[in-house]
Amino acid sequence: MNVKSQLSTLKAYTPGKTTDEVKKEYQLEKIVKLASNENPYGCSPNVLKAISQTNTLAIYPDGAAAELKKAVAEHLGVDQAKLIFSSGLDELIQIISRAVLSPEANTVMASETFSQYRHHAIIEGAEVREIPLLEGVHDLDKMAEAIDENTKLVWICNPNNPTGTYVAKEDLLRFLDKVPNNVLVVVDEAYYEYVTINDYPQTIPLLDKYENLLVMRTFSKAYGLAGIRIGYGVASPALINKLDIVRLPFNTSSLAQTAAIAALEDPEFIEECVIINTNELQKYYHFFDQQQISYYPSQTNFIFLQLSKPAIEEMFQQLLEKGWIVRKFPKGIRITIGTEQENEELLKILKEVIPCIQ
């Protein structure tokens, strides 16, 4: 079977072992998964109520997502023509890459950052220009230098996954002023709701000045709808019209649209989750400071530990054998902030594990 030659350099996304697999392999009764940055408190009760009342599953969903579009437009204070919806941000990344990239083009991104930017660029045959993070943060000066006449797309994950770090407002504005207006800049704000820092950029108002800017947000993280898959992009109507040509006709389900509308109607749920998350992060900071483990201060619902390769493997394996699933990366381990009880239990276990890796 003939497929694109570049696929031979890629692997399908590997989500990691399931809880059932870990239970069976290590003969455990309890598993706690803190690897995928889900909201440990689930979703708003409004969502569960709205979904339970849905009775249109035999009918195709509204391809235009009209009701959801109206709700999100009001929530953001933007024109409905500036919105596109997708089955999670993974699909929107695919849509953007397919619409913009080609074998003659290149795309600029950080290293390390969300893996799907690179993945879809390679599928489209584009050149990938990866700029190492500078102390865990996007090096926007080097990224700007990497842009040339063949650059079509720049990715900025803000806050960044997997480090949890962020690009400040003034730094982003300086970067946008350097970028040619024919180069699309995508700012991925999947963790936007968790941000508490004052100098984080508010990007939606910037869309009026920078027509080459697209902002991505999702209902998968703070809103707790990861299992339903719904995300969206905000950009100029002209760009949205082009992206809509690539989007599949019925790409977001009726359940997802209903759930997202209901989620927006309960801002108190988000506020409470963010307060708890912020407080729990402080516990991790205090603990890792005491243990002399390097980490990045986070504007997300996870924390990234900077570890040597042997320490990464040892910590990951020891936690796995004790029933705790975290996510390992080439330069460290990412731990999702769980419930208060989960965090207390994990910190006790880490106190036993850390001496083994130092």
Give the residue-averaged pLDDT of 35-42. Answer: 97
Checking 206-210 for CB contacts under 8 A at 24+ apart, the result is 206/173, 206/176, 207/78, 207/82, 207/234, 207/235, 207/236, 210/176, 210/181, 210/185
Helix (H, G, I), strand (E, B) or coil at 122: helix
Neighbours of 81 (CB within 10 A): 14
- Arithmetic mean of pLDDT over the chain: 96
Q: What is the pLDDT of residue 191?
A: 98
Among the residues of the chain, which ranges form H helices?
19-26, 45-52, 66-76, 88-100, 115-123, 140-145, 169-178, 237-246, 254-264, 267-291, 309-321, 340-357
Confidence of residue 16 (pLDDT cuts 50, 70, 90): low
Q: What is the pLDDT of residue 224?
A: 98
Give the residue-averaged pLDDT of 155-166. Answer: 98
What are residue 109's phi and psi, to 5 degrees? Answer: -155, 170
pLDDT tens string 217-237: 999 999 999 999 999 999 999
Q: What is the pLDDT of residue 29?
A: 85
What percent of the chain shows pLDDT beyond 90? 89
Give the residue-averaged pLDDT of 134-150. Answer: 97
Residues in a beta bridge with 329 = 332
pLDDT tens string 50-107: 999 998 899 999 999 999 999 999 999 999 999 999 999 999 999 999 999 999 999 9
Confidence of residue 24 (pLDDT cuts 50, 70, 90): confident
Q: Is 121 exposed, middle or buried (0-12, 13-18, 19+ CB in 10 A)?
A: buried
Q: What is the pLDDT of residue 8?
A: 79
